[in-house]
Amino acid sequence: MFKKYGRFKSSLIPGLLISFFLLTLAVFLFFTLYENSNTNESLFAVLSPRILKLLKFTVFQATLSTIFSILIGIVLAWSLSHQQKFPNRALLVALFSSSLVLPTIIVVLGLITILGRNGWLNHISLNLFNHSFEGFLYGLSGILIAHVYLNGSYAARSLLHSFESIPKEKYKLAKSLGFSTCKRFYYIEWPAIKTTVFSVSSIVFLLCFTSFAIVLILGGNPSYNTLEVAIYEAVKLDFDISFALELAFLQLSISVVLVFFTSSLKTDISNIKTGSEMIPWSEPFGAKIVQKFTIFIFGLFFLLPLLAIVVDGVGADYMKILSSSIFIKSFDTSIVIATLSSLITIFFTLLLSGAKRNFALKSRLADSKLASIFEILISFSGTLYLAIPSLVLGLGFFLLSQKFLAPQAFWATFALLSANVLMSLPFSLSIIYPAMLKTATRYDKLCFSLGIGGIKRFIYCEWPFLKESIGYVIALSFCLSLGDLGIISLFGSQDFSTLPWYLYGLMGSYKNSDASGVALILLSLVLGVFILLPKVFSRSRVA
């Protein structure tokens, strides 16, 4: 058995070492939290009315956000799949794909510009109907709107692939049997998308459960705080480390349980996308109206906040912004950390995927007794961020910075890099691993017979099929790192700042013009990298 393991040591050892490093880091941070907590009181403190209230609202808003996001995602994906001639459909789908990397603080600023007290909608309502919506954007309604904005479009983009993967022969069969639109959805489309629905639902719930920036800005008052925001306030505002630790343990425990029970919900990737072949008949008139209306309304809802950022940002004083020393420091810090994070992410992803596929293929080590254990360990190490929310992770690093003397910039940089890599890994693994599994299935016998392995195999067998995915992952992780407001909220200061933290400070100081300018710079940078960088990789050629 060990001889067989030795045959694949070049792909096993690096991936297992990365997995061990990530798990060790998680355990070390956990014991750091445990060591600083008051173990005699923690179990009873968790039952306090204050914490139960926080937990109740956190679960409540995450549940509602997930339900609304998934329902909208299903209807929107269904509409897009049947309206392939809708004007600018490709552009809309591309924009919906970008929702995953849009900085939440930009989304919040755009929504405030549209729906806030001094927003466009309120001005129109006052002028036409002499009615003000007051502060409906702040509180539960605002949190739900922002979550649906980000997660509804993410769900739609994920589900659209499942809809498009349905063989057209099934639609022809449904047509010949005279199925109505509802009957066709029940018997043909729902069975094809339900696995993805459950998988996406679990991810959306975890994202909403650990939501930070949206709740911090739109929560409005402490009654709408979540566990994540309460941890931030306990550390930064109240300096109550003990209470922050109690909240951190509670959130960590719940997140680990959720990740454990949802880890088996995987997106079905056995259906290969059938391409852009159109269904050869028109939808019923009623269904067509619903589909076009859905695409138009949600497309408008998605585009308006981004348009508001552009409109407000165009009039900003960029000479003032670009000459600001704080902006320059924030910009440089963000670019450096995002670049390092994206490179580390793709390096870890390739090694973890290379190791994991050894335990999934029967031609390799799938029949080994230890295969399932190793596969679970590698999978869990790649999804640690879902189990360890950013503020809990940040609190661990914050306590370490208090215990071990080192420059604050060192701890802030290390914490940000760790959080950014962990945040990107679940998404990057879901993209790279299936592609690497497919290349191994196709070329293993040939490579084994010719004795091709290591770097040589990667260049000639893996790279041609992975380059587009690698470009996408680098762009994705770069943009996710660039827009994160989680850990920097604990370490941010005048001496160490990123663009999102600088933008948050401008919003808090009511410097709306400067905030709009910085938001437009950040939005342009994120969308530019996310759209253009994958194209660079897709056009590259193997020498």
Between CA 9 and CA 20 the distance in angstroms is: 15
Q: Could you state, in order of their start, the residue ranges of all structural domains in the chain? A: 48-269+289-314
3-state SS class at 75: helix
Give the CATH number of domain 48-269+289-314; options: 1.10.150.20, 1.10.275.10, 1.10.3720.10, 3.40.50.300: 1.10.3720.10
The stretch 346-363 carries a mean pLDDT of 82
Rg (the chain; Cα; Å): 24
Structure tokens at 23: 């798990």
Q: Which amino acid appears at position 445 of this protein?
A: K
Look up residue 458 and give its DSSP letter: I
Is the pLDDT at 25 greater than 90, yes or no?
no
pLDDT at position 279 is 63
CB 231 within 8 A of CB 395: yes
pTM, entire model: 0.83
* Tokens 């045959």 found at: 7
Of residues 296 and 251, more confidence is placed in 296
Is the pLDDT at 272 greater than 60, yes or no?
no
Between CA 157 and CA 372 the distance in angstroms is: 31
State which H helix or E strand residue 378 sits in: helix 371-382
Distance of CA 528 to the CA centre of its chain: 18
Structure tokens at 206: 């975890």
Of residues 526 and 260, more confidence is placed in 526
CB 23 within 8 A of CB 381: yes
Between CA 177 and CA 1 the distance in angstroms is: 54
CB 215 within 8 A of CB 225: yes
Tally Cβ neighbours within 10 Å of residue 38: 10
Between CA 218 and CA 211 the distance in angstroms is: 11
Cα separation of the two ends of the chain: 38
Q: What pLDDT, in 10s, does the model give residues 109-118?
A: 899 888 888 8
Between CA 154 and CA 170 the distance in angstroms is: 26
pLDDT at position 280 is 61
- Residue ranges of alpha helices (H) inside 404-511 are 408-450, 454-457, 463-482, 488-491, 499-508
Q: What pLDDT, in 10s, does the model give residues 380-391?
A: 888 777 777 777
Between CA 79 and CA 65 the distance in angstroms is: 21
Is the pLDDT at 486 greater than 80, yes or no?
no
Residues 6+ apart with CB under 8 A from 450: none
CB 213 within 8 A of CB 108: yes
CB 522 within 8 A of CB 116: no
Is the pLDDT at 403 greater than 60, yes or no?
yes
* Tokens 């022809």 found at: 172
Sign of CA dihedral 348, 352, 355, 358: negative
Between CA 65 and CA 151 the distance in angstroms is: 8
Residues 6+ apart with CB under 8 A from 138: 218, 219, 220
Q: Which range is least confidently modeled, 28-32, 202-206, 263-267, 434-438?
A: 263-267
Sign of CA dihedral 127, 128, 132, 133: negative
Question: Crossing angle of helices 190-209/140-164, nearest 10°?
Answer: 150
3-state SS class at 1: coil
Give the closest residue to 306 by CA, choosing from 107, 157, 504, 124.
107
pLDDT at position 293 is 92
Structure tokens at 54: 């926080």
What is the average pLDDT value for the chain, to the nearest integer? 81
Residues 6+ apart with CB under 8 A from 124: none
- State the Cα angle at 153 between 529 and 261, rounded to 5°: 105
Helices and strands in the chain, H and E counts: 26, 0
Look up residue 221 and give its DSSP letter: S
**Which range scores top for mean pLDDT: 4-18, 215-229, 518-532?**
518-532
Q: Which range is least confidently modeled, 44-53, 325-334, 520-529?
A: 44-53
State which H helix or E strand residue 149 sits in: helix 140-164
Q: Is 90 exposed, middle or buried (0-12, 13-18, 19+ CB in 10 A)?
A: exposed
The stretch 30-40 carries a mean pLDDT of 70
Between CA 283 and CA 168 the distance in angstroms is: 14
- State the Cα angle at 437 between 435 and 442, rounded to 5°: 95
Q: What pLDDT, in 10s, does the model give residues 62-78?
A: 999 999 999 999 999 99
pLDDT-derived band at 363 (thresholds 50, 70, 90) equals: low
Distances (CA, A) of 144 to 106, 175, 206, 215: 16, 38, 14, 10
Residues 6+ apart with CB under 8 A from 388: 26, 29, 252, 255, 422
Residues 6+ apart with CB under 8 A from 494: 326
The stretch 157-162 carries a mean pLDDT of 85
Phi, psi of 117 (to 5 degrees): -60, -40
Q: Quick one: what percent of the chain has pLDDT higher than 70? A: 89
